[in-house]
Amino acid sequence: MKTPYKNIYNVLKLNRFIVLAVVLCSLLSSTFSVWMVFNTNQKALNSAFAINTDGSIIPLKLVTQKENFRVEALAHLELFHNYFYNIDASNYERNLEKALWLGNSSVDNLYRQKKADGVYNRLLQYSLVQKVLSIDSKISESNGAYSFTTTTIFEINRGSIIDTYELVSTGNLIMVDRNFPNNPHGLLITNYFENTLKKLNDES
Does some domain include residue 150? Answer: yes
Does some domain include residue 142? Answer: yes
Task: Quote the number of domains for the chain.
Answer: 1
Does some domain include residue 31? Answer: no
Does some domain include residue 94? Answer: yes
| Of residues 78, 110, 91, the one with CA closest to residue 184 | 78
Whole-number Å distance between alpha carbons of 50 and 60: 7
Does some domain include residue 72? Answer: yes
Does some domain include residue 102? Answer: yes
pTM, 2 dp: 0.69
Host H or E run for residue 54: none
Whole-number Å distance between alpha carbons of 80 and 103: 8
Which CATH number belongs to the domain containing residue 145 in this structure?
3.10.450.230
Whole-number Å distance between alpha carbons of 162 and 164: 7
Q: In terms of residue numbers, what domain contains 105?
A: 61-200
pLDDT per residue, tens digit, the chain (204 aa), is 555 555 677 777 777 888 888 888 888 888 888 888 777 766 655 555 555 556 655 555 555 667 788 999 999 999 999 999 999 999 999 999 999 999 999 999 999 999 999 999 999 999 999 999 999 999 999 988 999 999 999 999 988 899 999 999 999 999 999 998 999 999 999 999 999 999 997 654
Does some domain include residue 127? Answer: yes
Does some domain include residue 20? Answer: no
| Of residues 100, 122, 120, the one with CA closest to residue 109 | 100
